Each structure stands twice: as structure tokens, then as C-alpha cells.
Amino acid sequence: MVASKIFGIVLAGGEGKRLMPLTVDRAKPAVPFAGQYRLIDFALSNLINSGLTQIVVLTQYKSHSLDRHVSQTWRLSGLLNSYVASVPAQQRLGKRWFSGSADAILQSLNLLRDEKPDIVVVVGADHVYRMDFSQMIEAHIASGAKATVAAIRQPISLADQFGVIEVDENDPTRIAAFLEKPLEPQGLPDAPHEVLASMGNYVFDADALIEAVERDGERTDSNHDMGGDIVPYFVGRGEAGVYDLQRNDMPGATDRDRYYWRDVGTIDSFFDAHQDLISTLPVFNLYNREWPIFSQQLNSPPAKFVRDARGNLGTVIDSIVSLGCLISGAHVERSVLGPWSLLESGAQVVNSVLFDRVRVEPDAIVRRAILDKDVVVGSGAGIGVDPARDRARGFTVTESGITVVGKGVHVVP
């Protein structure tokens, strides 16, 4: 790590409308993921593993479970002024909410003025990936840029889904243009079939960031967004650099998951990200001990797989099973089970994601579904078996056929 004083900001105030009903009463960064984690754990783990010890989480909507998770899980020692702290919207500039990610930083500038960092790392709270930010910080300082945007290579056919970075022909580490979801993008000089997509992670010189968000706050034609307004501000001044994730030497990574990054902002992408975890050689490997993903340590017994009263075995294939789970004569395949899930005799759970304390009663069937906390699937009931019927019962069903059942629902046959 470089000698400069570094400060981390995690933007965690978004509503997460596209993840409804999982975000009915929780902030998107607090949504459970991969059994025992929350989405915010990936951003915070990357920052902590990178050596950052002063980090704030800017929260806003429905933040209680997120604030509780941060306070219970991310307790640093307090020595040498180390901390991870949730900071809600403080209304320091008037009685209003954050109007965008840049406005969130503007309304929280007291945090920077108190700590007086040299460098500020700003990251989103709802992406699944691994990244060593210390390497990006060193590249930022060496480049002389005032702002550096982390980017990942994506097929040019997907450019209309991302903020796309066009690099300077004479210096591929400098940004020539930043385009939001372009329809006719230019490919990279060294890979015409690829573009650089913004990861939503940034490194700034602290004084330059403060000046930029203060200027942005005075504009009436701004959306006050980091990607849409602040980055173009630095690009226009010739002060924006890009950091290609391919430059990041991730400890413990394999060739299969080295450059994994997924925005899990929709139900389909959230579901697909879980499917990336469960193969024998996973696309994203949770078992990298050199760069661990930290989370709350549950005081729970191990998972248990037993025969039921009929003598049927509990079977699990290509799945992740969390602590406290009990599988009694049920079948689980290509699924992720959250803590304390109970699957009873003859139940089938296939290609699904279960959150905490879900109960699937005897002979019930769950297919291509996401079940939120405390859902009970009654004996003989089916979820994901008939998407049309699921819609008729009021459940969310995506165009790809994934059924989502909200927290605490009791599904009857």
C-alpha cells in the first residue's frame, strides 16, 4: 500500500427497485447472497483486504437491516482510528434525501474534512467481484490523473448495458470519452470485439473530488450521479484515467474466476450469479482463502443430511448448503440454501435460491425460484412448476421464468 492516507466510501443508498420484492423492506446492499453473505460484504471485504481501515457506508432507504449487519459484522478494533461506520443521510444541506450518488458524497463532505485523506476510494455496494484496490490506488497516483475509473472488458455486443469508456489512442490509460449505454461503441485498440465497461468503482484525489461534487451541487441540469456527471466532468478536463481490471493481480485467483464481476441489480442477474457459484469449477470461487469474503459468523450448528421416517435419503447435488440446514429425505440440486433452511420428506428443490429459515414441507416442489426469509412451502405445494399459476397467486415471475416469493409468505397447495 502506498503511503498516502486513504479513505473509503461505499455508496449503499439505492432503492433497488429492480430487485423487488427482495427489497420491499431492506436496502439492496443488505439482500442476502450465497447463503450466509449480504451483497455489501463483497465491497467491504475488497476494501479491507486492500488495506483500507477507514471506511464509511452511506445509507438511505430502508437501512435498518443494513446498519445492523454493518455494526454486528464489521467491527474493527478502533486502534489507530480504524473503523467501518454506517452514515445515514444527514440533511446537512437542507431537509432532503440524497438526489444521486454524487449528492450523497456532497452531503457527507464533513467526513472527508474530518479525516483529511489524500485519496478517496468510492465503490458501489451491490456488485459481486474480487479486486485489490491497493494496486488501483498505486496506478492512480503514478498516472497523475485526478480521477481513475475501474473498468472490466465486456463483449462489444453488451455495450448498451453499461457505461462504456473510450480510451485515448495515444495513452490507453486515459479516458477520451465516457458513454452511457452506447448503441454504436468503438472497440478497444487491442481488442476490437471488446469495450471497457465501468465497474462503478473510482479512485480520486480528495481535493479534486471535493471540488467536483461542490461544482456539481450548484448545477440545475445535473442528475448528481458519479458515473453520469462526475466522471464526465473529469474527462472534459483531461484528468480522468482508467484502470483495466486485467492489470489487477488477484491473490488466489484462478484463470476461470480471475476477472469475474457481476452487477446483481435485477432478479435474473441475481439468480444467474448464484448459478455461477455452484459448479465443480465455479465461475466465481467463494473458497479463495488468500482473499476471503468476510461476513457475520453465525452461531449455528453444521448442516445435516438424514433419512426421513420412510427411510429416504436426503440428497444434495451441485449445491451450497449453509449452517443450520436440515435436509430430511429431500432432494436438492443446483441450489443455494440459506441458514436454518428445513427441507422435509419428499421435497424437491432444484435450480433455486433459498434465504434464511425457509421451510419446504413434505412432497413440495420448488423449481427456478427465489424464496425470501421465513417462507413456508406447504405440503404438496409447488413453486416454479407453473409460472402462469404463480403469477395468478401474486408472485413475481420474470420473463425468463424465475418465480420470487416475498418474505414470510406461506404457500399452500
Q: What fold, for 6-275? A: Spore Coat Polysaccharide Biosynthesis Protein SpsA; Chain A (3.90.550)
Q: Does the annotation list 28 as a binding residue?
A: no
The reported pLDDT for the residue numbered 256 is: 87
* pLDDT at site 63: 83
Rounded Cα–Cα distance for residues 136 and 404 (Å): 38
Q: Domain 304-411 is in which class?
A: mainly beta
How far does CA 84 lie from the centroid of its chain?
17
Q: What is the pLDDT of residue 135?
A: 97
Query: Any known ligand binding at 361?
Result: no
Q: Which helix (H) or strand (E) holds 135?
A: helix 133-143
Please give the pLDDT value at position 2. Answer: 47
Distance (Å, whole) CA 68 – CA 137: 30
Residues of the chain with CATH 3.90.550.10: 6-275
Say how far apart CA 67 and CA 59 lie, in whole Å: 8
pLDDT at 339: 96
407 a known binding residue? Answer: no
Outline which parts of the chain fall under CATH 2.160.10.10.
304-411
CA dihedral 325, 329, 330, 336 (to 10 degrees): 30
Q: State the pairing for strand pair 365-367/348-350.
A: parallel
Residue ranges of the chain whose pLDDT lies below 50: 1-2
**Does 180 appear as a known binding residue?**
yes
Positive or negative: CA dihedral 160, 163, 169, 172: negative
pTM of the model: 0.92
Q: Judge residue 290's burial from the number of C-beta atoms within 10 Å of its C-beta, 0-12 exposed, 13-18 middle, 19 or more buried.
A: exposed
pLDDT of residue 79: 64
How far apart are the C-alpha atoms of 50 and 43, rounded to whole Å? 11
| Confidence at residue 77, expressed as pLDDT on a 0 to 100 scale | 67
